[in-house]
Amino acid sequence: MQLQQYIKELLFQHECVTVPNFGAFLTRTINVLIQPDTGVFTPPRKDVSFNHLLKSNDGILAQYVAKKENVSYEQALRKIEKEVIIWKQRLNTQHLTFAGIGEMRLNPQKKISFSPFGAINFDLSTFGLNSFTRKSIFTHPINTEEPKPITIMENENKDNLMFTPEENESKRSPIMRYAIIGLIGISFIGVAYYFGNQYIADEKAKATELAQKKIKNNVQKATFDLGALSKLDLTIDANTEVIEDTPLAETYYSVVAGSYRSIENAEKKLAQLQAEGFDASFTEVNPEGLHRVAFGRFVSKRKALNLHNYIRYALKEEAWYLEEN
């Protein structure tokens, strides 16, 4: 019996999966993690822990084993009890590994110590979201040094710093002059564009106001003489066919398990899925005349996608997503 695999599958659906007389596996939601030093963003996830004090049978695991193994509830409980005995015997001499979940061993106090692997995110709602890194925004450090004192120069040293406007103009780069001229030109165009748009907007507002006044005056002056209205004959003939409103077609989202030419084979597959606990149903017959059987059929797209991901990645079974209009 693949009891460890069944526990992993149930952890995608339940926050607590109890193994009778052994302990409970619990899932805990971890929100988005942001590491400021590295800029790494980690999406929400569900990690697993273990509590050896929760040993009472809640029926979830036994019912699931009964469906997967096609046995009665009592037989499923006996299978679980035998597996638990083997686990406890193994823990006395070595560690116990749960594939995809974690590892167990006995500590010096003879209590179970659990170490999760953390490789699987048991939150199906965040399926497909990966960690990403965003570069940090660096700023220039603030200069905390004290300003240096200004030395007042004597008169005899000032002559060396004096220059004439002609000398300064000759040293100025031609590129700088062109840049200044360009900035002045761009500023002029921006101002002209702004005031031009403002003028057009004002003129449109005046024209709209004038048109509304004319329409109002014309409505007030107008008179309407419709004359005497004839009576309408609303008598309905008893033989008249009444057409009822047809509701709009609703979109369905299905997770398809298979398509079958024979309706008998399709019905067998439907009965098999329902026996396994799925709310299975038929979908529309495809254009080739094949009968589609779905694990589930929903009006919620999110529910359909969650079920599809669970079947493909938790149960490792074939399924495909279908939208029906």
Q: Summarize pLDDT for 43-102 with one digit per residue, the tens.
A: 778 889 999 888 888 888 999 999 989 999 899 999 999 999 999 999 988 989 998 899
Per-domain boundaries in the chain: 3-133, 252-324
176 versus 301: the higher-pLDDT residue is 301
What is the widest separation between alpha-carbon atoms in the chain? 122
> What pLDDT, on a 0 to 100 scale, did the predictor assign at position 229?
47
pLDDT band at 294 (very low <50, low <70, confident <90, very high): very high
Give me the mean pLDDT over the 116-128 stretch.
75
The mean pLDDT value for 187-194 works out to: 53
Q: What is the pTM of this model?
A: 0.42
Task: Provide mean pLDDT across the span 259-264.
Answer: 89
pLDDT at 293 exceeding the cut of 90? yes
Residue 44 confidence (pLDDT): 79
Going by C-alpha positions, the residue among 117, 140, 142, 162 that lies closest to residue 8 is: 117
Backbone angles phi, psi at 45, to 5 degrees: -155, 170
pLDDT of residue 56: 86
Q: For the chain, give the mean pLDDT.
A: 75
Give the CATH number of domain 252-324; options: 3.30.70.1070, 3.90.180.10, 1.20.120.140, 3.40.50.10490: 3.30.70.1070
C-alpha angle with apex 142: 138 to 146, nearest 5 degrees?
Answer: 160
- Asked if the model's pLDDT at residue 279 lies above 80, the reply is yes
Comparing 149 with 251, which gets the higher pLDDT? 251
